Amino acid sequence: MAGDGLTRTRFAPSPTGLLHLGHAFAALTAARLADPGEFLLRIEDIDRDRCRAAFEAAIFQDLRWLGLDWPVPVMRQSERMPAYAQSLAGLDAMGLLYPCGCRRGDIRAALSAPQEGASVMGPDGLVYPGTCRGRRMAEAGPEDAIRLNADRALAVTGALAFMDKGLRHELSTESFISGIGDVILARRGWGTSYHLAVTVDDAAQGITLVTRGADLFEATWIHVLLQQLLELPTPSYWHHILIRDDEGRRLAKRDDARSLRELRDAGATPSKIRQMIGFDNSTSAPSRTAV
Ligand code: GLU
């Protein structure tokens, strides 16, 4: 596992729909960058309302059809709640968490108050103005989310850094506080959030190279902060381009993006799919030289 010197990547889809070309690109990128090494699959199913067993089954089938293979058993985030609770408890013991009952409308209203500065968009939407920052964890109720106090957290860690495609990126404590802020680590009724789950699980699986879309680049600062607070290793990153349609729209944002299944039923072969996303062993496909 971790520390064995092997490159280990993962593809981590949420079973909330059928895989499309953008997913194929992400999965093939992860698999190629793990060669030689190990490519893992992880099912990110913490959003119980939107995840479906049928979509999970379709993920396995479609990836196998594409020619991918991975070790079993596959990690499922819905089975990892104790690990997330333990990490949250650790952060709580450090005095870094607070409960927050604000809804989006409350946040917008607070930000429009005259004494507030300009609204800033962070990786999770509007940077939280800190309305609930004075609340204590002892008063957390079922209607609350749990937020990380960014000021206090960054006082522990100092500035952050990670490697993306072999290049070092840095972020000052001030930039995190003003541009990302007090992020949610446990959504109301969920027991975790994407940020906490992905950080804890990448470490648990010994992932050495996280590959994912460039849209998650800014979110990586949150994960690097959590790694430091939880004393987990920071992997290397490879934020890849997003596959777009002819009009330049991201496939993931389109409801009618054609699924791999539809393309297959219409006669596409796995090598045709690879070709459609520039993955036919040509120079446009990613190589590991810069990792
Ligand atoms: N489940 C996330 C997604 O579908 C994975 C993102 C990541 O790789 O960290 O976008």
- High-pLDDT (> 90) share of the chain, %: 85
Q: What is the mean pLDDT of the chain?
A: 92
pLDDT of residue 3: 65
pLDDT in tens, 8-31: 999 999 999 999 999 999 999 999
Closest CA to 225 of 133, 152, 137, 168: 152
- Residue 44 CA: nearest ligand 1 atom is 1
Helix locations, the chain, DSSP H? 21-33, 53-66, 81-93, 104-112, 150-157, 173-179, 194-204, 219-229, 260-265, 270-276
Pocket residue to mutate for ligand 1, from 20, 75, 198, most atoms within 8 A of Cβ? 198
**Ligand 1 binding pocket includes 13 (Cβ within 6 Å):** yes
pLDDT in tens, 218-234: 999 999 999 999 999 99
| 16 CA to centre of ligand 1 in angstroms | 12
Domain 8-276: CATH architecture, name and number where available: 3-Layer(aba) Sandwich (3.40)
How far apart (Å, rounded) are the C-alpha atoms in residues 239 and 161? Answer: 15
DSSP letter for 253, please. G
**Ligand 1 binding pocket includes 16 (Cβ within 6 Å):** no
| 200 neighbors 171 (Cβ within 8 angstroms) | no
Q: Where are the domains of the chain?
A: 8-276
| 22 neighbors 242 (Cβ within 8 angstroms) | yes
| 134 CA to centre of ligand 1 in angstroms | 32
pLDDT of residue 66: 97
Q: Which residue has the higher pLDDT, 252 or 2?
A: 252
Q: Are strands 97-100 and 145-148 parallel, antiparallel or unpaired?
A: antiparallel
**Ligand 1 binding pocket includes 181 (Cβ within 6 Å):** no
Pocket residue to mutate for ligand 1, from 202, 216, 237, 242, most atoms within 8 A of Cβ? 216
What mean pLDDT comes out for the span 110-136?
90
**Ligand 1 binding pocket includes 26 (Cβ within 6 Å):** no
pLDDT in tens, 49-108: 999 999 999 999 999 999 999 999 999 999 999 999 999 999 999 999 999 999 999 999
Q: Enumerate the β-bridge partners of residue 125.
A: 122
pLDDT of residue 284: 46
pLDDT of residue 119: 87
| 17 neighbors 256 (Cβ within 8 angstroms) | no
Looking at the chain, how many residues does it have? 291
Closest CA to 96 of 263, 278, 222: 222
| 31 neighbors 232 (Cβ within 8 angstroms) | no
**Ligand 1 binding pocket includes 212 (Cβ within 6 Å):** yes
**Ligand 1 binding pocket includes 198 (Cβ within 6 Å):** yes
Q: Which two tokens stand for residue 251?
A: 């496939």
Closest CA to 13 of 52, 37, 5: 52
How far apart (Å, rounded) are the C-alpha atoms in residues 190 and 169? Answer: 31
| 289 neighbors 37 (Cβ within 8 angstroms) | no
pLDDT in tens, 254-274: 555 689 999 999 999 999 999
What is the secondary structure of 224-244 as a DSSP string? HHHHHHTT----EEEEEPPPB
Please provide residue 236's backbone torsions phi and psi, each rounded to the nearest 5 degrees: -85, 160
**Ligand 1 binding pocket includes 44 (Cβ within 6 Å):** yes
Q: Which residue has the higher pLDDT, 60 or 2?
A: 60
What mean pLDDT comes out for the span 105-113?
90
Confidence of residue 4 (pLDDT cuts 50, 70, 90): confident
| 12 CA to centre of ligand 1 in angstroms | 5
- Residue 202 CA: nearest ligand 1 atom is 9
- Residue 212 CA: nearest ligand 1 atom is 8
What mean pLDDT comes out for the span 33-58?
96
pLDDT of residue 236: 98
Confidence of residue 283 (pLDDT cuts 50, 70, 90): very low
Q: Model-level pTM?
A: 0.93
**Ligand 1 binding pocket includes 157 (Cβ within 6 Å):** no
How far apart (Å, rounded) are the C-alpha atoms in residues 275 and 269? Answer: 10
